[in-house]
Amino acid sequence: MSTHYHAVIWIDHSEARVFHFNADEVESLVLHPHNPTRHIHHKADTIGSGHAEDDQKFLHAVAESVMDAQEILITGPAGTKTALVKHIGKHDPALLQRVTGVESSDHPSDGQIVAHARKYFAAADLKTPQKV
């Protein structure tokens, strides 16, 4: 991938869609966990939360995919986006400083993700000068 200033990640438990972009170009990447989790039902009188553990290799691969971006927006429908932020904070605090926002979103199309990120960063860029 070429270097772009901005990146947006849409992530849930089954995939991460990563977009590096500027005003004219978009490069995309789709990542999948090594062992996708299936829906787990919690049974009464059992030990444990009934939730699958986060796939750390998957989260690491997603984090590595945006290492060259200077500003990163993370979106998604559930807790995986929060798990990604925690993973980045634990393993690469310098990258966490470049995460400018974490937002909830349902299941938008790729075009909707990029359009939202462009609008998000346009507003943020008015407040912060870009430095490479």
Overall number of domains in the chain = 1
45 falls within a domain: no
- pLDDT-derived band at 53 (thresholds 50, 70, 90) equals low
Residue 128 predicted with pLDDT over 70: no
- Quote the mean pLDDT of the chain: 86
Domain that holds residue 57: 6-34+52-127
pLDDT of residue 2: 58
Q: What is the pTM of this model?
A: 0.82
- Yes or no: say if 105 and 77 are a contact pair by the CB < 8 Å rule: yes
Are 20 and 71 contacting, i.e. CB atoms less than 8 angstroms apart?
Answer: no
Residue 27 lies in a domain: yes
Residue 97 confidence (pLDDT) above 90: yes
43 in a structural domain: no
